[in-house]
Amino acid sequence: MGVKQEDRDIAMQTAEQLAQAIKEKAHELGFELVGISPVSDPPHEQSFADWLQEGYSGEMAHMARTEQARRHPDTWLPWARSVVSVAMNYYTPFPHEPHQASAPTGWISRYAWGEDYHTILESRLDALFGWIRHTVGDEVQGKVYVDAGPVLEKGFAGLAGIGWIGKNTLLISPKHGSYFFLGELFLSLELLSDSPIRNRCGSCDLCLKACPTDAFVGPYRLDARRCISYLTIELKGGIPTQLRPLIGDHVFGCDICQEVCPYNVNIEASTVPAFQPREGLHGPELIPLLALDDEQFRSQFKGSPIKRSKRRGFLRNVAVALGNLGSAESVSALAKLLSDPEPLIRGHVAWALGQIGTTEARAALHEALDHETDPDVKAEVEQALTADAPSR
């Protein structure tokens, strides 16, 4: 395929004009926000190191494993000269609905309502890279990252002027808020860089106050071990008992520190079909989810970010949410799971039944005590039988 004259013209242009042409192409490919930065150490690399040192990353061992690469990208991409950072809005305008006692519902983080964003952003960034090589020449090297790989994404996006890192540790655009996915294209090309924009949080601290688990140890500092997103997605084992009541109805992720942010008011909704909510994921009914076996879970959440939690993690979260809702309607479905092969599920179901505390719930717990052999689950059952159900 021959190179078109207009593309040849772009290739002959200055670093500034080429940067502009790349940004226009990225917009054409559906990225609302685009910016360019040099491949330097991200500005918050030291605070990232301090964050790891404090243990705030919890069980996310991959963060510590890739610390040096994240802090010093030139050490592993020595050929890279510029980073094109892109953002795609995933916001859809559906509110958190009130619960109905007969059919308790939970909350899934907005980003997980649609299809898996990795493939969507990757394919568009691949297309952008293909266009650049086609236009400038096949000698251009490039590498695409979307929320994977050792990249401090928000740092690069901030350097590129897409937004600033807010007190809630998320990247915020003054016009588009924070509901977007980020991606990067590292290039061997020298391009004119954009400038960072100023931080506009000012004296606001709504996100810090709104967090139900007090996960912010201060502005710009998140203890992931208390964050509902971490607890319901990243954490593979049991959720600490003292944090369970604070998780509310969240069954996969949390949006609270974004929902309260003034920059997320009156933002435009995404029209990308893949980011529209799959049926049942906006305010999902919780009781039917308890009946999913492994195969049904995989099939229902194929191509969805939710598959990451696996059935064991997801049902653990659903049980905690039902316990927090005090859902008497869910007791018989929960009680069946006291015989589930997965101890993680049995333990959290026991906790939920203890929180619900009805006669039926307590009878199921007594019965479980007779046949439970796993010492950790048995301890959960005993604890649940001594727990006072919270007054609602």
The residues carrying an active-site annotation are 147
List contacts with ligand SF4 (CB under 6 A).
166-168, 172, 201, 204-207, 260-263
Q: 50: how many CB neighbours lie within 10 A of its CB?
A: 12
Residue with CB nearest ligand SF4? 166
Instruction: Please state, in angstroms and rounded to a whole number, the distance separating the CA atoms of residues 144 and 156.
Output: 13
Nearer to ligand SF4, 190 or 205 (CB): 205
Residue with tokens 């940004």: 23
The percent helix, strand, coil of the chain (3-state, each to 5) is: 45, 10, 40
Q: How far is the CB of 248 from ligand SF4 (least distance, A)?
A: 19
Counting Cα atoms < 13 Å in the Cβ hemisphere of 105 gives: 13
- 55 phi-psi bin (left φ>0, alpha ψ -120 to 50, beta other): left
Q: How far is the CB of 175 from ligand SF4 (least distance, A)?
A: 14
Under a CB-based contact definition with an 8 Å cutoff, are residues 314 and 290 in contact? no
Nearer to ligand SF4, 255 or 372 (CB): 255
List the Cα angle 367/368/372 in 5-degree steps.
140
Nearer to ligand SF4, 259 or 329 (CB): 259
**Helix locations, 173-282, DSSP H:** 206-210, 228-229, 256-259
Nearer to ligand SF4, 74 or 268 (CB): 268
Nearer to ligand SF4, 57 or 169 (CB): 169
Q: How far is the CB of 288 from ligand SF4 (least distance, A)?
A: 35
Handedness of CA 159, 161, 167, 169 (dihedral sign): negative
Nearer to ligand SF4, 259 or 382 (CB): 259
Q: How far is the CB of 267 from ligand SF4 (least distance, A)?
A: 12
Residues 139, 145, 149, 153: what is their CA dihedral angle, to the nearest 10 degrees? 120
What length is written for the chain?
392
Q: How far is the CB of 202 from ligand SF4 (least distance, A)?
A: 7
Q: How far is the CB of 213 from ligand SF4 (least distance, A)?
A: 16
The strand pairing partners of 250, in sequence order, are: 107
Strands (E), 138-274: 142-145, 164-165, 171-172, 180-187, 216-218, 221-222, 250-252
